[in-house]
Amino acid sequence: MIRRRAVLPGLALASLLILAPVAEAAKFGSRTLEKGSSGSDVKTLQRYLDRVGHDTTVDGQFGRGTARSVRGFEAEAGRTVDAVVTRSDAKVLKAEVKSTTTTETTTPTAPAGSKATIGSDGLAIAPADAPEEVKQIIAAGNEIASKPYKYGGGHGKWKDSGYDCSGSISYALHGAGLLKRALDSGEFMSWGERGRGTWVTIRANSGHAYMIVAGLRFDTSARKESGNRWTSEMRSARGYRGVHPPGL
């Protein structure tokens, strides 16, 4: 007897493809995850961590990079910092992901008519009337905008093959003569002056940092959306401390 393979109608197949991520998300939190864990729920964990500001590769393998992101989230959320995701931790992370659906509405903006723009090459164009330091920050940011994400990149040397979140910001600020050494995201939390700046604002927590310059966001996570670190899209500032260079 010849068995025929069942073929799903196009609509039914599309429905399954849509429901797959939903099913994976539902599975997340049903078990404790730690270093060495793997599976679809680890992928969900990685997606969630990335969404709340902790750069994480989504590969379904709970390795060193994922453990680092988990520790950053745990510290930020006031959880036990042990890189072990319990069911309780998963519940807190889910709630945090839900809260990031709103974007930052109090984004620092440059004076009217003085916002930076994005050119056809995806790089930032500084407004003509911006302070010289702002133009230099943007120029330096453009130099590495398309460089790959690299954990620890930019911290051992200024010219690197890739840069992490804080390494990227450090490079741009160094280009304007505002930093002598690269800072990590935790150090940026207490750098400069507190609050939003007129031209530049850095948002930082223990696990991630990004920068807004003349109305554009400079962020390693933006590479997945635009191909480089510059984007006009804002993100939630929840869980981040705002600081800015003095005078900017």
Which amino acid is present at 77?
Answer: A
> In sequence order, which ranges of the chain are alpha helices (DSSP H)?
10-27, 40-51, 64-77, 87-99, 132-144, 165-175, 185-188, 223-226
**Least confidently predicted of 79-88, 106-115, 195-204, 210-219:** 106-115
In what helix (H) or strand (E) does residue 203 lie, and over which residues does it extend?
A: strand 200-204
Environment class of 237 (CB within 10 Å of its CB; exposed 0-12, middle 13-18, buried 19+): buried
215 Rama class: left (phi>0) / alpha (psi -120 to 50) / beta: left
Taking only the tens place, the pLDDT of each residue in 123-180 is 999 999 999 999 999 999 999 999 998 889 999 999 999 999 999 999 999 999 999 9
Domain locations in the chain?
10-99, 117-244
Task: Select from 3.30.530.20, 3.40.50.10440, 3.90.1720.10, 3.20.20.100 the CATH code of 117-244.
Answer: 3.90.1720.10
Taking only the tens place, the pLDDT of each residue in 191-217 is 999 888 999 999 998 788 999 999 999
Task: Select from 3.50.50.60, 1.10.101.10, 3.40.50.620, 1.20.1250.20 the CATH code of 10-99.
Answer: 1.10.101.10
Q: Which two tokens stand for residue 135?
A: 């133009």
Residue 69 vs residue 134, higher pLDDT: 134
CB–CB of 62/38 below 8 Å? yes
pTM: 0.65
Q: pLDDT band at residue 8, thresholds of 50, 70 and 90?
A: very low
